[in-house]
Amino acid sequence: MNINSTAPIIYPIIVPTSSTLLSFNFYLVKNQDKLFLVDAGLDSEKCWLYFNHVLKENGFKLNDINGIILTHSHQDHTGIVNRVLSLHEIPVYAHQSSLDRLARNETFLNKRIDFFRSLYSEMGCKEMGEKQVKLLQKKAKQNQYQAIKAKILPLKEGDRIYGFKVIETPGHWPDHIALLNPESGILLGGDHLIQHISSNALIEPDELGKKISTLQQYERSLKKCKDYALTVTYPGHGEIVEDPKELIKKRLNGIESKSEKIRKIISNKQPCTAAQVAQTYYEHKYDSEFSLVMSEIIGHLYRLEGLNKISKKQKNSEWHYYSCG
Ligand SMILES: [Zn+2]
């Protein structure tokens, strides 16, 4: 280690919430004479107040901030970006694949809606799927105000920014990155690794509107991070992760055992659609948390198919799953 190097100073901005996420976390970071923000909470007065409090408490002003880096394009990570930029124009960095999502590009959003329409239909979701597609259409119009009003500077694997290395960690979301300071082992991990809940590997299309096996991506991203000498991870929600390697192991085991439970359901019910598997596994949550539940089940079905543990046949335009052996 370079004896002149000093570890980055992290000033956490932890905004509590009554939801299971516990908190919305974002971070003011001082490193190599630069001050920058990693993520930006929700677009709420509360997040704005907590942000200003942390700035002031540590003797900083808004004008001292050199840039903003976004770990991914979820709205609980991009919230106050526009408000900061309206007062102080600075560069905003994010993964190169997040540009359409951050800009809420209409063509992309329509492609995304088409993707979910055919996915839910193939997975046997019938009217629940149609209801969800209508909700997506409504949200696409309503949430236009969330578009980030800045030219995003694109990042990719291996880029260096303010003394941190960009690590692509798709899975929870296709444009997810983590930021590693190799000297100290500090990882600013976004939603890649959360202590108290397992991150959802949400089903999403890629930039062209095509299918991705997000759970398998997430597994690869977890394994990739296991190979780095991590000392601590600063997450997007909940407590700071003091033993990231142990948590990665736990998450990988969790994926494995959930997949096995889902494989057993298929082997008992076969042939069955993804919607039928979801109703068996999640019961009433199939109605109350439809999109999350389907995301989980479809993620595991793609994974099991990838491992040749299940197979599928199309009948009346719906996929029917079978267990292999
Ligand atoms: Zn997220």
Tell how far the Cα of 54 is from the centroid of ligand 1, in angstroms.
Answer: 23
Confidence of residue 3 (pLDDT cuts 50, 70, 90): very low
Which amino acid, 184? S
Q: Which of 242, 276, 309 is the last residue of a domain?
A: 242
Tell how far the Cα of 73 is from the centroid of ligand 1, in angstroms.
Answer: 8
Tell me, what's the pLDDT at 68? 98
Number of domains in the chain: 2
Q: Which long-range contacts (CB under 8 A, 24 or more apart) does 26-31 make?
A: 26/51, 26/77, 26/236, 27/188, 27/234, 28/54, 28/55, 28/58, 28/60, 28/65, 29/162, 29/188, 31/162, 31/163, 31/164, 31/181
* High-pLDDT (> 70) share of the chain, %: 98
Q: Which of 242, 271, 295 is the last residue of a domain?
A: 242
Tell how far the Cα of 12 is from the centroid of ligand 1, in angstroms.
Answer: 17
Tell me, what's the pLDDT at 144? 85
Tell how far the Cα of 190 is from the centroid of ligand 1, in angstroms.
Answer: 7
pLDDT digits (tens, 9 = 90+) for 197-233: 999 999 999 989 999 999 999 999 999 999 999 999 9
Confidence of residue 58 (pLDDT cuts 50, 70, 90): very high
- CB 69, CB 180: distance < 8 Å: no
Let me know whether 160 and 122 are in one domain: no
Let me know whether 71 and 204 are in one domain: yes
> Would the pLDDT of 325 be above 90?
no
* High-pLDDT (> 90) share of the chain, %: 94
Tell me, what's the pLDDT at 1? 44
Confidence of residue 143 (pLDDT cuts 50, 70, 90): confident
Tell how far the Cα of 177 is from the centroid of ligand 1, in angstroms.
Answer: 11
Which amino acid, 261? K
Mean pLDDT of 169-185: 97
Tell me, what's the pLDDT at 278? 97
Tell how far the Cα of 172 is from the centroid of ligand 1, in angstroms.
Answer: 7
Let me know whether 219 and 115 are in one domain: no
Mean pLDDT of 40-51: 98
Tell how far the Cα of 173 is from the centroid of ligand 1, in angstroms.
Answer: 7
Report the candidate in 296, 75, 107, 73 with the shortest Cα–Cα distance to residue 175.
Answer: 73
Tell how far the Cα of 63 is from the centroid of ligand 1, in angstroms.
Answer: 28
Confidence of residue 142 (pLDDT cuts 50, 70, 90): confident
Q: Containing H/E element for 62?
A: none
- N- to C-terminal Cα distance for the chain? 52
- Dihedral of CA 70/75/76/78: which sign? positive
Rounded to whole angstroms, the Cα distance separating 44 from 31 reads 27
Q: The CATH number of the domain where 84 resides is what?
A: 3.60.15.10
Tell how far the Cα of 76 is from the centroid of ligand 1, in angstroms.
Answer: 7
Tell me, what's the pLDDT at 5? 61
Report the candidate in 253, 322, 259, 269 with the shortest Cα–Cα distance to residue 296.
Answer: 259
